[in-house]
Structure 1
């Protein structure tokens, strides 16, 4: 298994919390299906479907936050409420007022909720207690923040912090492009976004397009800065670095897939993939932090 998007946080390295202690803490918020009158239910579930909330491979841990959300579109509520309002108007001789209409919509929502469809989603989190990484596989910071909120609520006094670096990713990525020079161990790929900082918010985006140095420098000279940059680490992993220090569109390249060992069954293959992923990503993240000037300490 490979994470597609990395929202990165920091733990002390090494972190001495054991998988058993984390399992016990997460069990207080174990996932249970939403009842008929609940719109949303969240909780920790087994990442491997075996009742264990913490999956461990060579000290690396995998946990999963499960979410069940009912689909009840506002348009449906409004449609049913409108029909009921019309019946009510015929009965009482005048249309319901603003307050009465609000209460009617609330009653309609309560009536429709037990029949609403449920959507289940899962967000995986990798905990590396050896090197001090905590990584949420989420495309948006909001979704990662939701996971972190539940984690901090479950695990008492968890010393978790956002990853901070010495130099702004925007400044560093812009300098790499301006000087047509990538940091040691990395290459710059053919996708980037340059955005103006002024009121115009003008932007130019390259997708699978050669980044001609002169064209890039012209955009930078006009006031644009790099907010997204596609890169490859050691010919092994490609990704997109964002201005918010998120790592997106992570892909293991063929050179890594060739090194994958043959597994006897699905469980063994999963563990092999997870071990390979965590080993490579921990090194890549360390090199990326170094390329951004190292970690910023408070």
Structure 2
């Protein structure tokens, strides 16, 4: 159980919610499969091998949102509707009008839905109630918003706030690259993207390329700004920091993973050990990132 991405948010620290209370409220929106006429359903499922919707390991919580979607491409609906429309036109002697075609496509959709294949997708979120962190393992804010929206629907009160820092990631990353110096406990790795602020949005991406020297600095002097930068924290976690304060391509290095090698007796024990190890590392990483960006700007939370 290792997250690959982090969309981080803030909760009050400590959050006045127990795992049992969260379990009870999430159960109101437990996952139900699609009915015959549903295009999509979503709800909470157990994130681990137990039946609990809140997996609690050492005061760190894991929750999981599952979405089930019907796979019914619009091209398939159009094809069947066009064939049906031709048959009707031959029978009645004239072509269907625009409204009749629209109604026919809606009818075809309802007919095909019960036979459509379904796809399920899970998105996990980690909650550190003592320190006020909520992080979604999602590659984009839009995907994370699915989890947040379901939490808003499930909880009586959800005092969430965006994570805001004194320095923007763009300005901080530009300073680090210009000075060839990472903040304390971090090292700059070999991946970076710089993008122009002009209308054409011209971008240069470096992959496994040295970022020292005059080349990257030349792009900065020309007005391009860093939007992604690969970093390593404390020689234990590598990741990419983005302009939106997202943490992507999380990789827990061998020095971390080796701590539990051979120490788990079964799959459940391994899952718990990995989750405990991951959350312990992330509980150090997130405050360090915030400090590197000048500290946190406290904001009013939305309930």
3-state secondary structure, aligned to 2:32: coil
3-state secondary structure, aligned to 2:134: strand
- Tell me what 1:268 maps to: 269
Alpha-carbon distance in structure 2 between the residues aligned to 1:205 and 1:40: 37
Unaligned ranges ≥5, structure 2: none
- Tell me what 1:126 maps to: 126
Aligned residues between the structures: 298
3-state secondary structure, aligned to 1:212: coil
Alpha-carbon distance in structure 2 between the residues aligned to 1:282 and 1:48: 21
Question: Per-residue deviation at 1:49?
Answer: 3.9
Question: Per-residue deviation at 1:295?
Answer: 0.5
3-state secondary structure, aligned to 2:135: strand
Question: Per-residue deviation at 1:254?
Answer: 1.1
Is the 1:178–1:213 contact (alpha carbons within 8 Å) kept by the matching residues of 2?
Answer: no
3-state secondary structure, aligned to 1:134: strand
Question: Per-residue deviation at 1:293?
Answer: 0.6
1:227-270 per-residue CA deviation (whole Å, 9 max, x = no partner) reads 00011000100000010101000001111122225111111111
Is the 1:15–1:130 contact (alpha carbons within 8 Å) kept by the matching residues of 2?
Answer: yes
Alpha-carbon distance in structure 2 between the residues aligned to 1:16 and 1:97: 59
Is the 1:173–1:226 contact (alpha carbons within 8 Å) kept by the matching residues of 2?
Answer: yes
- Tell me what 2:244 maps to: 244
1:57-100 per-residue CA deviation (whole Å, 9 max, x = no partner) reads 00000010011000000110111011011111111111111111
Is the 2:49–2:268 contact (alpha carbons within 8 Å) kept by the matching residues of 1?
Answer: no
Question: Per-residue deviation at 1:13?
Answer: 1.2
- Tell me what 1:287 maps to: 288
- Tell me what 1:14 maps to: 14
Alpha-carbon distance in structure 1 between the residues aligned to 2:200 and 2:29: 46
* TM-score, L = length of structure 2: 0.97
Question: Per-residue deviation at 1:35?
Answer: 1.0
Question: Per-residue deviation at 1:16?
Answer: 2.6
Question: In the alignment, is residue 111 of structure 1 matched against residue 111 of structure 2?
Answer: yes
- Tell me what 1:161 maps to: 161
1:187-209 per-residue CA deviation (whole Å, 9 max, x = no partner) reads 11110100000112110000111
Is the 1:227–1:243 contact (alpha carbons within 8 Å) kept by the matching residues of 2?
Answer: yes
* TM-score, L = length of structure 1: 0.98
Is the 2:192–2:205 contact (alpha carbons within 8 Å) kept by the matching residues of 1?
Answer: yes
- Tell me what 1:70 maps to: 70
Alpha-carbon distance in structure 1 between the residues aligned to 2:273 and 2:56: 12
- Consecutive aligned runs of 4 or more in structure 1 exceeding 2 Å deviation: none
Alpha-carbon distance in structure 1 between the residues aligned to 2:192 and 2:101: 49
1:176-195 per-residue CA deviation (whole Å, 9 max, x = no partner) reads 11111100000111101000
3-state secondary structure, aligned to 1:258: helix
3-state secondary structure, aligned to 1:280: helix
Is the 2:8–2:246 contact (alpha carbons within 8 Å) kept by the matching residues of 1?
Answer: yes
- Tell me what 1:209 maps to: 209
Question: Per-residue deviation at 1:50?
Answer: 2.5
Question: Per-residue deviation at 1:213?
Answer: 2.4
1:220-231 to structure 2, matched below 5 A, reads 220-231=220-231
- Tell me what 1:61 maps to: 61
Which has the larger displacement, 69-78 or 254-263?
254-263
3-state secondary structure, aligned to 2:259: coil
Alpha-carbon distance in structure 1 between the residues aligned to 2:26 and 2:61: 13
Alpha-carbon distance in structure 2 between the residues aligned to 1:134 and 1:212: 35
- Tell me what 2:43 maps to: 43
Alpha-carbon distance in structure 2 between the residues aligned to 1:213 and 1:290: 26
Is the 1:177–1:213 contact (alpha carbons within 8 Å) kept by the matching residues of 2?
Answer: no
Alpha-carbon distance in structure 1 between the residues aligned to 2:93 and 2:133: 66
Is the 1:39–1:69 contact (alpha carbons within 8 Å) kept by the matching residues of 2?
Answer: yes
Question: Per-residue deviation at 1:271?
Answer: 0.7
